[in-house]
Amino acid sequence: MMRWGLYFAEAISGAESEHMTTKKSAKKSTAKKSPAKKAAKKSAEKSAGRKYGAAASKQVQTEMHEMKEGKLKSGRSGKKVTSRKQAIAIGLSEARKKGAKVPEKK
């Protein structure tokens, strides 16, 4: 039963690839891009590289270590944190307070 499903999927994908090759390719414009546009695009790609900075990563690592040791407490209530997600949230929150590169809260 499983083999039939794989065979059927390959047959469909083969048909789609044949269909794709028969389409005419779109013409590319011959106009060259200006160097200023290329530089702007590169700088935009560079700035969008990493969401979190190294300091934020280090802070989360510290909080995870504390959680695994059983020493991490939540803010107001002071209860012990057992959730991995909560430990990450606490680490990112503290990194924000210290001014590390962390995206804004949603």
pLDDT at 16: 52
How many other CB atoms are found less than 10 A from the CB of residue 50?
11
The torsion angles phi and psi of 98, rounded to 5 degrees, stand at: -80, -10
pLDDT beyond 90 at 86: yes
Question: With bands split at pLDDT 50, 70 and 90, how would you rate the model's confidence at 105?
Answer: confident
Burial of 96 (0-12, 13-18, 19+ CB in 10 A): middle
The confidence score (pLDDT) of residue 35 equals 64
Residue 59 to residue 65: CA distance in whole angstroms: 10
| Section 23-29 average pLDDT | 57
d(CA 45, CA 22) in angstroms, rounded, equals 34
**Selected residue with higher pLDDT from 50 and 24:** 50
For residue 25, the model assigns a pLDDT of: 55
Cα 106 from Cα 29, distance rounded (Å): 41
